[in-house]
Amino acid sequence: MKLQEIQIKKILYATDLSENAVHAFSYAVSLADTYGAGITILYVMAKFPAEQFVLNMIHSDRWKEIKKRHYSEVKDELITKKREHLAMKEVLQAFSEAVQAGAPNHRFVTDEILIKTGPPAETIVDTAKKRRSDLIVMGTRGHSALADVLIGSTAGWVVRHSPIPVLVVRLPE
């Protein structure tokens, strides 16, 4: 039997900034070093589907009227969100630099740092496809199988729906 040659050149590392996600970064760095791959760091800010929720509660004309009245507040909120994205990007850049400084035996390149808003699992898979990633690396909180069935998990959804291989890393006990 002939094994397929595996080429990993682009790793998408998805983080929720948890302790486990930091632990998973060790795996992304090790694989990047081994394969000479670049790492794209992705943080997804979950977005509540407010518009659909509101439209279930009130008529669309009333919703348009409310939005029109609060246009300037919404504009200010969008500017604040943009600042949050920039701050988060700076935090992740500092994190990547600190890991590089603290791991001189591992060579890796952070190709890009992305901050996106949307449903985390779908955004991770979509980003990996668009960036033509060879591997997704992410942590999981290690909920029980029953909890995953009842409430689902981001990592579980990504594993089930991604056409790209996924490495899910649990925090050691």
Per-residue pLDDT of 148-168, as tens digits, reads: 444 458 888 999 999 999 999
Question: 57: burial class by Cβ within 10 Å (0-12, 13-18, 19+)?
Answer: exposed
Q: How far is CA 76 from CA 70, 71, 121, in A?
A: 10, 9, 28
CB 37 within 8 A of CB 110: no
pLDDT of 14 above 70: yes
45's tokens: 């800010």
CB 165 within 8 A of CB 134: yes
Element (H, E) at 155: helix 154-161
pLDDT of 143 above 80: no
pLDDT of 135 above 50: yes
Share the mean pLDDT of the chain.
Answer: 81
The pTM of the full predicted model, rounded to 2 decimals, is: 0.75
Going by pLDDT thresholds of 50, 70 and 90, the confidence category of residue 122 is very high
Going by pLDDT thresholds of 50, 70 and 90, the confidence category of residue 96 is confident
Q: How far apart are the first and last CA of the chain?
A: 38
3-7, 20-24, 124-128, 143-147: the lowest-pLDDT one: 143-147
In 10-128, the DSSP E strands lie at 10-15, 38-45, 109-117
Work out the average pLDDT over 124-132.
Answer: 97
CATH no., domain 10-47+89-170 = 3.40.50.620
